[in-house]
Amino acid sequence: MTAPMSGHARRKALLVGRLSEYYAAVYLMFRGYRIAAMRFRVKAGEVDIIARKGNLVAFVEVKARRITGDAVFAVDPATQRRIRNASLAWIARQPDAASLAYRYDIVAVTPRSRPQHFSDAF
C-alpha cells in the first residue's frame, strides 16, 4: 500500500491525468476516430474517452505512466468492471445501439513519446 498523497501531489496527478486524456483524444482523432464523450460518468462507473469510427465504439481508458507496461497493467479487474458498467449505460442511451460494435481499449501515455493504443485490451 502506498502512502497518501499530499494536496500538491494530488493536484499535480490530476493535472497530468487530464492533460494525458486530451493528448490521447487528439491522438485518436488523428487516427480517424470521432470523440463522442470524454470523462463519461454514471453512478456505476466512468469512461475516460468514448471514441467512434463508423459503427465501432471504443471505450478508452487512458493511463499516464513512466513505462508503457505499467500503464497497461494499471487497468485492473475493478477498473475494467467500472468501465464496462459505464459503457453499458452509454450504449443504452444511443438510438443506434443495435447496430454498434464496441470494444475496450487502453491508451498509454508516457513521457517523450507518442501514445500507445492497445485495441481490444480487455
- Residue 41 pairs in a beta bridge with 46
Confidence (pLDDT) at 99 = 97
Confidence (pLDDT) at 61 = 98
Would residue 76 count as lying in a domain? yes
Would residue 1 count as lying in a domain? no
pLDDT tens track, the chain, 122 positions: 566 778 888 898 888 889 999 999 999 999 999 999 999 999 999 999 999 999 999 999 999 999 999 999 999 999 999 999 999 999 999 999 999 999 999 999 999 999 999 999 99
5 is written with which cell numbers? 498523497
Identify the CATH number of the domain in which residue 77 sits: 3.40.1350.10
Would residue 56 count as lying in a domain? yes
Element (H, E) at 79: helix 77-92
- Residue 106 pairs in a beta bridge with 61, 118
What burial class does residue 83 get, using C-beta atoms within 10 Å of its C-beta: 0-12 exposed, 13-18 middle, 19+ buried? Answer: buried
Domain that includes residue 109, residue range? 7-118
Would residue 77 count as lying in a domain? yes
- Total domains present in the chain: 1
Would residue 100 count as lying in a domain? yes
Per the confidence metrics, is the pTM higher than 0.85?
Answer: yes
β-pairing, 45-53 with 34-42? Answer: antiparallel
Would residue 51 count as lying in a domain? yes
Would residue 2 count as lying in a domain? no
